[in-house]
Amino acid sequence: MDDYSKHIAIIGGGISGLSLGCFLLSENIKCIIFERSSKIREGGAGISISPNAINLLDKINLKESLSNEGFFPEKINFLDEDDPITSIESRVCCISREKLVSILYKRFIELGGKVIFDHEYTSFDSDTKILNFKNNQSYKILHLAACDGIKSKIRNDFFDFAEPVYSGYSAWRCIGENPHKDAFLQLSANKHLVLYPITGSLSSFVGCIKTSTENNESWIAEGSIDELISDIGFMSDNHRDTVHSSKKFFRWGIYTRPLLKKYFAKNITLFGDAAHPIVPFLGQGGCLAIEDGFSFSKLLNDNKALEDAQKSYERVRKPRVKMITRLSKEQALHNHISNPLLRKTRNFLMSKTSIIDKQMDRIYKFNL
Ligand SMILES: Cc1cc2nc3c(=O)[nH]c(=O)nc-3n(C[C@H](O)[C@H](O)[C@H](O)COP(=O)(O)OP(=O)(O)OC[C@H]3O[C@@H](n4cnc5c(N)ncnc54)[C@H](O)[C@@H]3O)c2cc1C
């Protein structure tokens, strides 16, 4: 049996696992990533990374890579159907998910990290600290970091057995051509559409709709442009142009799980979507995962003892996660208002007060 008894074993090589790995190694803490797939992969969509996470990625020298591989839109333009509401300066980086994970993976390897592929976690003995995989491999480890996403088996095994719950929202996503340097957020009754540039010529389209129809078979299913158009209905010109130039269309069911009381158990800590999957209406799920990895690594380096770091991690992360979970849910309600009078009021507040900037300041400000 290989001995990783001095390593933190990270299960999952997504945004949370890779960023945690980078932050741990940058604090000289040994770790190893186990990923069930045969390679690092992500695809089919873009992701926006806001300053709270950009500033942390900067600490592991990734800001330049974000600038090179992604795109910083100049402005975010808000529209009610086709009518402009307001326009604000953008502070986010937009990038294809594939590029984001490959930047993180490259940095992890540069820092001396190793990912062991084709290893699907099956069980862990938290007393002996023996970790078992589907391929019958077993390893003695120091600590288990669960970065295995919303369907986390580790969460099911040690924390709660509640199945992920359909949020009532689904999202259509595709990547197509769009020469604009700005992002566009179009608000409508029971839906909102987001368009942001991820390179100088490509944009990521996300159309979120309120619908009781779940994707029963799969959370992410490939669909056709006709299905997208029939679900989404009216689109402004920019959104329509991007959709029509796209080749692949994906429909994502949006699921959540109840907020957890505990983020850790004996020799186990939860991160990212395994700890706190949220609705994506403020684009914060991946950013919170990055904050988690940074916080835990820093606290572990400060505290030295794992048990103390776990307690401090839970103490600092729970209130912030709770706040962003609540704001994300509320955002969908604001975006999807159908009552004309309320819509007018919302648009007035967005255009004539500093409500958007205040909200962003609140989310983007992250201090450990
Ligand atoms: C429509 C939509 C739009 C979004 N937009 C944004 C946005 O703009 N900005 C933002 O910050 N966030 C956004 N998010 C949220 C973000 O995508 C997630 O929060 C983030 O991807 C979570 O990363 P993770 O690493 O925790 O989980 P995952 O990405 O799910 O990664 C989990 C990894 O664990 C591996 N794994 C799973 N089980 C096992 C096992 N048993 N053994 C070994 N490996 C395993 C998987 O193969 C995978 O590699 C969006 C989400 C949705 C649905």
CATH topology of domain 3-163+257-364: FAD/NAD(P)-binding domain (3.50.50)
Instruction: Kindly state the percentage of the chain with pLDDT values over 70.
Output: 98
Residue position matching structure tokens 């062991």: 116
Residue position matching structure tokens 């970790």: 131
Q: How far is the CA of 339 from the centre of ligand 1 (A)?
A: 34
pLDDT in tens, 83-110: 999 999 999 999 999 999 999 999 999 9
DSSP 259: P
| pLDDT at site 221 | 84
Lowest mean pLDDT segment, chosen from 15-19, 40-44, 89-93: 40-44
| Average pLDDT taken over every residue of the chain | 94
Q: Is 287 in the pocket of ligand 1 (CB under 6 A)?
A: yes
Q: How far is the CA of 334 from the centre of ligand 1 (A)?
A: 25
Question: Which carries the bigger pLDDT value, residue 104 or residue 201?
Answer: 104
Q: How far is the CA of 81 from the centre of ligand 1 (A)?
A: 30
Count other Cβ atoms within 10 Å, centred on residue 354: 12
User: CA 86, 87, 93, 98: dihedral to nearest 10 degrees?
Assistant: 60
pLDDT in tens, 215-262: 655 677 899 999 999 999 888 888 999 999 999 999 989 999 999 999
The arithmetic mean of pLDDT across residues 143-150, rounded, is: 97
| pLDDT at site 301 | 93
Q: Is 293 in the pocket of ligand 1 (CB under 6 A)?
A: no
Closest CA to 233 of 47, 46, 44, 82: 82
| pLDDT at site 348 | 97
The arithmetic mean of pLDDT across residues 270-290, rounded, is: 97
What DSSP assignment string belongs to 88-134?
EE---EEEEHHHHHHHHHHHHHHTT--EE-S--EEEEETTTTEEEET
| pLDDT at site 92 | 97
The arithmetic mean of pLDDT across residues 142-166, rounded, is: 94
Q: Is 46 in the pocket of ligand 1 (CB under 6 A)?
A: no
| pLDDT at site 144 | 98
User: CA 328, 330, 335, 339: dihedral to nearest 10 degrees?
Assistant: 170
| pLDDT at site 214 | 73
| pLDDT at site 357 | 93
Is 80 exceeded by the pLDDT of residue 170?
yes
Q: How far is the CA of 286 from the centre of ligand 1 (A)?
A: 7
The arithmetic mean of pLDDT across residues 153-164, rounded, is: 92
* pTM (predicted TM-score): 0.96
What DSSP assignment string belongs to 136-175?
S-EEEEEEEEE---TT-HHHHHHT--PPPEEEEEEEEEEE
| pLDDT at site 110 | 98
Closest CA to 286 of 36, 77, 18: 18
| pLDDT at site 161 | 80
Q: Which atom of ligand 1 is nearest to the CA of 34?
A: 43
